[in-house]
């Protein structure tokens, strides 16, 4: 849900920039974003962790691998949008690193969890099998979901990787919607 806030921010920033410039958002440029279906497929690959947690917990590497492969291929396909790709790529790698180092599960900070009354370690696991409350510590803990977001309706825990990924998504949206030169006219190398 928190990544949705970054998507919304990207659209709002692009709209403001284009309003100041006196032009409309360049929604037609979305057709030039290569592999736009890949992030959607990556998110769908995460569904078994919340819908079929017992099954997903047996092969977490499969669903995590598919999800992150989709995101990485998307970033490679859209590498000419360098700032967005660097930010989103750094966030993706941070998240992937901490997940792989913790047996394909993202550690959640006990103090972040304490910000949400009634949320227990068991509830976290029941909600998403690829998370665990790091009461006994975790590898690369600082890259885990240690930042609480106590905002009604979107409250959650996020990581440094989530922030970088979100900033990359927002930059990509702003880049696409404010680009005045049609990507078709650009010379490909």
Task: Say how many Å lie between the first and final Cα of the chain, rounded.
Answer: 37
The predicted pLDDT at position 182 comes to 56
Q: What angle do CA 36, 37, 42 make, to 5 degrees?
A: 115
Helix 60-77 vs helix 82-101: crossing angle, to nearest 10: 170
Tokens, residue 157: 């825990």
The predicted pLDDT at position 184 comes to 53
- The label of the residue with tokens 């990507």 reads 183
For residue 34, what is the DSSP state?
T
The predicted pLDDT at position 187 comes to 46
Specify whether the CB–CB gap between 144 and 159 falls below 8 A: yes
The predicted pLDDT at position 172 comes to 96
Give the pLDDT of the chain (189 residues) as one tens digit per residue: 678 889 999 999 999 999 999 998 888 898 899 999 999 999 999 999 888 988 998 999 999 999 999 999 999 999 999 999 999 999 999 999 999 999 999 998 888 777 777 777 777 777 777 888 888 889 999 999 999 887 777 667 899 999 999 999 999 999 999 998 655 544 454
Cα(119)–Cα(23) distance, integer angstroms: 47
Q: Which residues contact 80 (CB under 8 A, 6 or more apart)?
A: none
The pTM for the full model equals: 0.87
Cα(189)–Cα(178) distance, integer angstroms: 22
Cα(118)–Cα(67) distance, integer angstroms: 30
Cα(41)–Cα(46) distance, integer angstroms: 9
Find the DSSP H helices in the chain: 2-21, 37-45, 47-51, 53-58, 60-77, 82-101, 110-114, 121-127, 160-178
């Amino acid at each position: 849900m928190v990544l949705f806030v970054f998507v919304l921010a990207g659209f709002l920033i692009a709209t403001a920039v284009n309003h100041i410039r006196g032009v409309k958002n360049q929604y037609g440029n979305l057709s030039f974003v290569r592999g736009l279906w890949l992030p959607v497929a990556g998110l769908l690959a995460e569904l078994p962790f919340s819908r079929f947690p017992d099954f997903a917990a047996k092969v977490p590497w499969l669903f995590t691998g598919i999800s992150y492969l989709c995101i990485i291929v998307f970033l490679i396909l859209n590498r000419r949008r360098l700032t967005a790709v660097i930010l989103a790529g750094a966030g993706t790698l941070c998240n992937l690193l901490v997940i792989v180092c913790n047996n394909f599960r993202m550690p959640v900070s006990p103090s972040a969890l304490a910000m949400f009354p009634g949320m227990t370690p068991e509830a976290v696991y029941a909600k998403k099998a690829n998370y665990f409350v790091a009461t006994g510590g975790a590898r690369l803990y600082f890259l885990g979901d240690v930042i609480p977001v106590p905002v009604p309706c979107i409250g959650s825990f996020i990581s440094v990787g989530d922030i970088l990924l979100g900033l990359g998504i927002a930059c990509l949206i702003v880049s696409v919607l404010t680009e005045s030169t049609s990507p078709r006219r650009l010379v490909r190398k």
